[in-house]
Amino acid sequence: MSLHFDSSLIARLAAAGPDETVHITLSVDIGPGSAPDGASGPGRTVVPQGPLAELLLKGLLEAGDTLSFQQRRAGREAVATVTADGRLIVEGQAVPYASPSKAASAVTGTSSNGWVLWRTADGRTLDALRQQLQQD
Protein backbone atom coordinates (compact mmCIF):
# COMPACT_ATOMS: atom_id res chain seq x y z
CA MET A 1 0.00 0.00 0.00
CA SER A 2 1.21 3.52 -0.68
CA LEU A 3 -0.06 6.90 0.45
CA HIS A 4 -0.02 9.91 -1.84
CA PHE A 5 -0.37 13.39 -0.40
CA ASP A 6 -1.21 16.60 -2.20
CA SER A 7 1.64 19.12 -2.07
CA SER A 8 -0.62 21.65 -0.31
CA LEU A 9 -1.04 19.21 2.58
CA ILE A 10 2.71 18.76 2.90
CA ALA A 11 3.16 22.55 2.89
CA ARG A 12 0.48 22.92 5.59
CA LEU A 13 2.14 20.32 7.79
CA ALA A 14 5.54 21.93 7.33
CA ALA A 15 4.15 25.36 8.25
CA ALA A 16 2.34 24.17 11.40
CA GLY A 17 3.68 25.58 14.63
CA PRO A 18 4.60 23.37 17.59
CA ASP A 19 1.33 24.16 19.41
CA GLU A 20 -0.90 23.90 16.35
CA THR A 21 -3.11 20.89 15.70
CA VAL A 22 -3.46 19.79 12.10
CA HIS A 23 -6.41 17.51 11.31
CA ILE A 24 -6.03 15.07 8.44
CA THR A 25 -8.81 12.91 7.05
CA LEU A 26 -7.70 9.94 5.02
CA SER A 27 -9.94 8.01 2.63
CA VAL A 28 -8.74 4.52 1.93
CA ASP A 29 -9.59 2.86 -1.36
CA ILE A 30 -9.05 -0.88 -0.95
CA GLY A 31 -10.43 -1.89 -4.29
CA PRO A 32 -13.61 -2.10 -6.35
CA GLY A 33 -16.72 -2.91 -4.39
CA SER A 34 -15.07 -2.08 -1.07
CA ALA A 35 -17.53 0.65 -0.18
CA PRO A 36 -21.01 -0.29 1.02
CA ASP A 37 -22.57 1.41 -2.00
CA GLY A 38 -20.14 -0.24 -4.42
CA ALA A 39 -18.35 3.04 -5.18
CA SER A 40 -14.64 3.37 -4.69
CA GLY A 41 -11.79 5.70 -5.44
CA PRO A 42 -11.26 9.42 -5.21
CA GLY A 43 -14.45 10.28 -7.11
CA ARG A 44 -16.67 8.65 -4.51
CA THR A 45 -19.23 11.04 -3.06
CA VAL A 46 -19.43 11.25 0.72
CA VAL A 47 -23.03 11.23 1.91
CA PRO A 48 -23.55 13.15 5.15
CA GLN A 49 -25.24 11.32 8.00
CA GLY A 50 -26.41 12.18 11.47
CA PRO A 51 -27.96 15.33 12.88
CA LEU A 52 -26.13 17.76 10.56
CA ALA A 53 -26.85 15.80 7.36
CA GLU A 54 -29.91 17.75 6.28
CA LEU A 55 -28.16 21.09 6.85
CA LEU A 56 -25.31 19.91 4.63
CA LEU A 57 -27.59 18.46 1.95
CA LYS A 58 -29.60 21.71 1.76
CA GLY A 59 -26.45 23.86 1.57
CA LEU A 60 -26.95 25.66 4.89
CA LEU A 61 -23.63 24.16 6.04
CA GLU A 62 -20.69 23.07 3.93
CA ALA A 63 -17.79 20.75 4.57
CA GLY A 64 -14.95 22.87 5.93
CA ASP A 65 -17.21 25.45 7.58
CA THR A 66 -15.89 26.64 10.92
CA LEU A 67 -18.21 26.79 13.92
CA SER A 68 -17.42 28.41 17.24
CA PHE A 69 -18.89 28.97 20.66
CA GLN A 70 -18.09 31.08 23.68
CA GLN A 71 -19.23 30.78 27.26
CA ARG A 72 -17.77 33.99 28.66
CA ARG A 73 -18.75 33.42 32.29
CA ALA A 74 -17.18 29.95 32.32
CA GLY A 75 -14.19 31.16 30.30
CA ARG A 76 -14.77 28.55 27.61
CA GLU A 77 -14.49 28.86 23.88
CA ALA A 78 -14.11 26.34 21.11
CA VAL A 79 -13.76 26.02 17.36
CA ALA A 80 -14.95 23.09 15.27
CA THR A 81 -14.83 22.18 11.59
CA VAL A 82 -17.73 20.54 9.76
CA THR A 83 -16.75 17.40 7.82
CA ALA A 84 -18.32 16.21 4.58
CA ASP A 85 -19.86 13.23 6.38
CA GLY A 86 -21.65 15.45 8.91
CA ARG A 87 -19.36 15.27 11.92
CA LEU A 88 -17.56 17.99 13.86
CA ILE A 89 -13.82 18.06 14.45
CA VAL A 90 -13.27 20.11 17.58
CA GLU A 91 -9.92 21.88 17.80
CA GLY A 92 -7.80 20.15 20.43
CA GLN A 93 -9.94 16.97 20.51
CA ALA A 94 -8.71 13.66 19.14
CA VAL A 95 -11.93 12.32 17.62
CA PRO A 96 -14.69 13.78 15.45
CA TYR A 97 -18.16 14.02 16.99
CA ALA A 98 -21.38 12.82 15.35
CA SER A 99 -23.59 15.50 16.93
CA PRO A 100 -23.25 19.15 17.88
CA SER A 101 -24.22 18.39 21.48
CA LYS A 102 -21.59 15.67 21.88
CA ALA A 103 -18.98 18.06 20.48
CA ALA A 104 -20.05 20.83 22.87
CA SER A 105 -20.13 18.43 25.84
CA ALA A 106 -16.57 17.35 25.04
CA VAL A 107 -15.50 20.97 25.50
CA THR A 108 -17.65 21.90 28.49
CA GLY A 109 -17.31 18.62 30.38
CA THR A 110 -21.06 18.66 31.06
CA SER A 111 -24.20 17.85 29.12
CA SER A 112 -24.62 20.72 26.64
CA ASN A 113 -27.04 21.68 23.89
CA GLY A 114 -24.71 22.12 20.94
CA TRP A 115 -27.54 23.30 18.71
CA VAL A 116 -27.67 26.61 20.62
CA LEU A 117 -23.96 26.85 21.48
CA TRP A 118 -22.28 26.36 18.09
CA ARG A 119 -22.42 29.37 15.77
CA THR A 120 -21.54 29.84 12.13
CA ALA A 121 -19.10 32.52 10.97
CA ASP A 122 -22.02 34.95 10.53
CA GLY A 123 -23.24 34.34 14.11
CA ARG A 124 -26.24 32.09 13.46
CA THR A 125 -26.72 29.11 15.75
CA LEU A 126 -27.16 25.61 14.38
CA ASP A 127 -30.65 25.74 15.86
CA ALA A 128 -31.42 28.82 13.74
CA LEU A 129 -30.25 26.91 10.65
CA ARG A 130 -32.44 23.98 11.63
CA GLN A 131 -35.43 26.32 12.02
CA GLN A 132 -34.69 27.80 8.60
CA LEU A 133 -34.95 24.27 7.14
CA GLN A 134 -38.42 23.89 8.59
CA GLN A 135 -39.54 27.20 7.08
CA ASP A 136 -38.29 26.42 3.55
Q: Which of 1-5, 19-23, 49-53, 122-126 has the lowest mean pLDDT?
A: 1-5
Q: What per-residue confidence (pLDDT) applies to 45?
A: 75
Q: Write down the mean pLDDT value for the chain.
A: 83
pLDDT in tens, 25-59: 655 544 444 444 444 445 567 889 999 999 999 99
Q: Is residue 61 part of a domain?
A: yes
* Mean pLDDT of all residues in 86-91: 95
How far is 85 from 104, CA to CA, in rounded Å?
Answer: 18
In a domain, 116, yes or no: yes
pLDDT for position 39 = 44
The answer to whether residue 21 is domain-embedded is no
Please count the structural domains in the chain: 1
Residue 81 contacts residue 64 (beta carbons within 8 Å): yes
Range of the domain at 128: 53-135
Residue 46's nearest CA partner among 9, 80, 79, 87 is 87
Domain presence at residue 92:
yes
Note the pLDDT tens digit of each residue in 61-86. Answer: 999 999 999 988 888 999 999 999 99
Using the 8-state DSSP alphabet, how is residue 18 labeled?
T
pTM equals 0.67
pLDDT score of 116: 96
- 121 lies in some domain: yes
